[in-house]
Amino acid sequence: MRIDSDRILRDIEAIGAITETPGGCSRPTFTAAWRAARDYVIDEAGRAGCAVRVDAFGNVHMRPSGVPWESRCWLTGSHVDTVPNGGKFDGVVGVVVGLEILRAAHEAGRTLPMELCMFAEEEGTTFGLGMLGSRAWAGTLSVEQLSRAMNGDAASFLQAGAAHGVDPSHMPADRLDGSRYCGMIEVHVEQGPAMWERGIPVALVTAVNGRRQLMCTIRGVANHAGSTPMEYRFDALAAAGACIVELERLPREFEQAVCTVGRIEARPNAVNVIADEVMFTIDFRSRSERTLADGAARMKSSLGTICDRRGVKLELREYEHLPPVRFDARVCDRIRAAAGQVGLTALAETTSGALHDAVILAPFVPSAMVFVASKDGVSHNPAEFSRAEDITLAARIVGQAVSEVI
């Protein structure tokens, strides 16, 4: 079967043009732009002779009509939702690769044992938690938790998703049945500079870093910006600034760790008032569970010392802990063999610093990933770019890997 590079590029451009804002790509889950992108993929899959169904969690499943829903097969896929003003390639590459494999097989008269899944709300920027669609499908989130996941319009995942297939009454029957899948391979852009700098077009991902996310709240005393001497201030925002500088320094104490403060809110947020409360997020990642634990302990100690010295109160609340994941050895071997079969003499291997839907499914379905190089490591940015020939190579590898059930 022949993978069509031009068609892959056409799909990426077509989906990239569907956005709520000019410039970059903005497709929050369950918005009109997200739905239009989803419908584009569904229509293309239908033209390739696929049966399509939407599960009770808002995920879209596409299989060749000759592969019954109850039969065992491979799984691939990713997402089409984006961060605000993001790029064309994040998530979309994994969806388009699966779509092109299905089309190429259909044109060659072959029925591949493969299902393409387009997961709902991977990014986490719309409802505050990433990989919502895959988590809910896997059963790691309850209906109650989904009802508490709110978007910017104060609508829950259940409420906003109702028009797009989300249905709590059907969730028990639609839960993931891992026995129906022999393996899961997700293709994704690397979102880092290593592969591009080393001239590596594609790589096998053998493991994914773990993550701990915390909400930090610092409480001081609001007071007048002009009449309060510096030595009489209990400034929550100044304390937060010192804490953020410490959080930037802290990962350097560990091997292969990163820490990010990505969202911050100050109250009362007035130009002439000393802030009495500041809240910000902390995202700490490492490939080592020990490092995640030690880093969290160091955060508590270091930030506590800073806040005590400034006379303000500190509250740290962890709201997510995902341990590092090592992907399935047999699926990794399958990908290595497929790379050789399509003419790649040596397949590079790497680990992922970012989390993906394959990580959520890995405890239930044997899983692995294939990365495509990202130009200069840029992602979550309109300048995001990956070469069509690299994406095509990834599609050829995955198409070969899923040629038969294992």
Averaged pLDDT for residues 185-194 = 97
Q: Percentage of residues in the chain with pLDDT exceeding 90?
A: 97
Same domain, 333 and 252: no
Closest CA relative to residue 114, chosen from 355, 334, 363 = 334
Higher per-residue confidence, 21 vs 220 = 220
User: How far apart are the C-alpha atoms of 78 and 296, rounded to whole Å?
Assistant: 30
Strand spans (E) along 86-151 = 114-119
Give the number of other CB atoms < 10 A from CB of residue 245.
12
- pLDDT value at 119 more than 90: yes
| Length of the chain as a residue count | 406
**pLDDT attached to residue 216:** 99
Same domain, 202 and 284: no
306 with 239: CB under 8 angstroms? yes
Burial class of residue 288 (count of CB atoms within 10 Å of its CB; 0-12, 13-18, 19+): middle
**Secondary structure element (H or E) that encloses residue 267, with its range:** strand 264-267
Average pLDDT, the chain: 97
Residue 369, strand partner residues: 186, 205
Kindly report the CATH number assigned to the domain that includes residue 114.
3.40.630.10
pTM of the model: 0.89
Averaged pLDDT for residues 133-146 = 97
In sequence order, the 6+-apart residues with CB closer than 8 A to the CB of 162 are none
Q: Long-range contact list for 336-339, CB < 8 A, 24+ apart? A: 336/204, 337/401, 338/397, 338/398, 338/400, 338/401, 339/202, 339/204, 339/397
For tokens 């077009």, name the residue. Answer: 201
Averaged pLDDT for residues 222-239 = 98
User: How far apart are the C-alpha atoms of 11 and 113, rounded to whole Å?
Assistant: 23
User: Would you say residue 393 lies in a domain?
Assistant: yes
User: Would you say residue 79 lies in a domain?
Assistant: yes
5 half-sphere exposure, CB direction, 13 A CA radius:
9
Kindly report the CATH number assigned to the domain that includes residue 255.
3.30.70.360
291 with 256: CB under 8 angstroms? yes
User: Would you say residue 406 lies in a domain?
Assistant: no
**pLDDT attached to residue 291:** 97
**pLDDT attached to residue 21:** 85
Closest CA relative to residue 16, chosen from 111, 86, 104 = 86
Same domain, 177 and 53: yes
Identify the band that residue 255 occupies on the pLDDT scale cut at 50, 70 and 90: confident
For tokens 């990989």, name the residue. Answer: 131
User: How far apart are the C-alpha atoms of 280 and 125, rounded to whole Å?
Assistant: 15
Same domain, 119 and 263: no
Averaged pLDDT for residues 126-134 = 94
What pLDDT, in 10s, does the model give residues 289-327? 999 999 999 999 999 999 999 999 999 999 999 999 999
Same domain, 84 and 31: yes
User: How far apart are the C-alpha atoms of 105 and 379, rounded to whole Å?
Assistant: 31
Averaged pLDDT for residues 147-162 = 97
Same domain, 197 and 221: no
Give the number of other CB atoms < 10 A from CB of residue 147.
13
- pLDDT value at 41 more than 90: yes
Alpha carbon 277 to its chain centroid, in Å, reads 30
92 half-sphere exposure, CB direction, 13 A CA radius:
33
Same domain, 89 and 188: yes
Last residue of a domain, one of 322, 344, 362: 322
Identify the band that residue 275 occupies on the pLDDT scale cut at 50, 70 and 90: very high
Alpha carbon 2 to its chain centroid, in Å, reads 29
User: How far apart are the C-alpha atoms of 240 and 297, rounded to whole Å?
Assistant: 18
**pLDDT attached to residue 23:** 82
User: Would you say residue 383 lies in a domain?
Assistant: yes
Same domain, 187 and 38: yes
Last residue of a domain, one of 295, 322, 349: 322
**What domain count does the chain have?**
2
**pLDDT attached to residue 22:** 84
Identify the band that residue 63 occupies on the pLDDT scale cut at 50, 70 and 90: very high
Same domain, 70 and 167: yes
Structure tokens at 315: 């509250």
Alpha carbon 58 to its chain centroid, in Å, reads 16
Last residue of a domain, one of 283, 307, 322: 322
Same domain, 303 and 341: no
User: How far apart are the C-alpha atoms of 251 and 245, rounded to whole Å?
Assistant: 11
Same domain, 175 and 280: no
What pLDDT, in 10s, does the model give residues 70-98? 999 999 999 999 999 999 999 999 999 99
Range of the domain at 156: 5-209+324-401
Same domain, 14 and 108: yes
Closest CA relative to residue 86, chosen from 202, 191, 228 = 191
